[in-house]
Amino acid sequence: MTLVEVLVGTAVLVTGGGALLLGMHYALVQSDYLNHAQIAIQAAQGELERLTSETFSTLATGAAYVGARQNGQSVAINNAELPGGMLGVQIQTFPAGTPFATATLLDLSVAACWTSRGRRIGEDQSCNGVLEAAEDVNGNGWIDSPAMVSTRVARKD
């Protein structure tokens, strides 16, 4: 073999090895993200289950959910693998604009925010469970997140 062949072969080997290491790094990043997302979704589902066990009048007019009926109310995600993770709970009437006192349908939404490898996940960039005007990127009035669950509940008379 000539020196040129050895150098070309070494360059190909180094390039392939670097690409393999880069691919492994991205796989680990995605694995962390998916693990955190699963924890956040489970926490959001648990909170939504807790909300749906409340009476309609408690959700619509009760003092415990004043923040949720405005711009959101925070609930901590109690999991050591997701430190600082928060849930944003929101309650809105359906159709929108119906007064809570006379509403017959409520939309409940629970969205999670957390930090994964230095990047904030979810629309709630301050991660406080409250939707500020600058955070509502799509202008829909809800805290959006990849880990978000929602349902609609009806008044039972």
And the tokens for 67? 């923040």
- Specify the pLDDT at position 150: 96
Residue 157's pLDDT is 67
- State residue 118's pLDDT score: 85
Report how far residue 74's alpha carbon sits from residue 87's, in angstroms, rounded to the nearest whole number: 6
pTM of the model: 0.84
pLDDT at 34: 93
Q: What is the pLDDT of residue 117?
A: 85
Single-letter residue type at 82: L
- DSSP 8-state code for residue 14: H
Q: What pLDDT, on a 0 to 100 scale, did the predictor assign at position 101?
A: 92
- In the predicted model, residues of the chain with pLDDT beneath 50 are none
Q: What is the pLDDT of residue 112?
A: 95
* Helix (H) / strand (E) containing 114: strand 105-116
In contact, 68 and 153? CB cutoff 8 Å = no
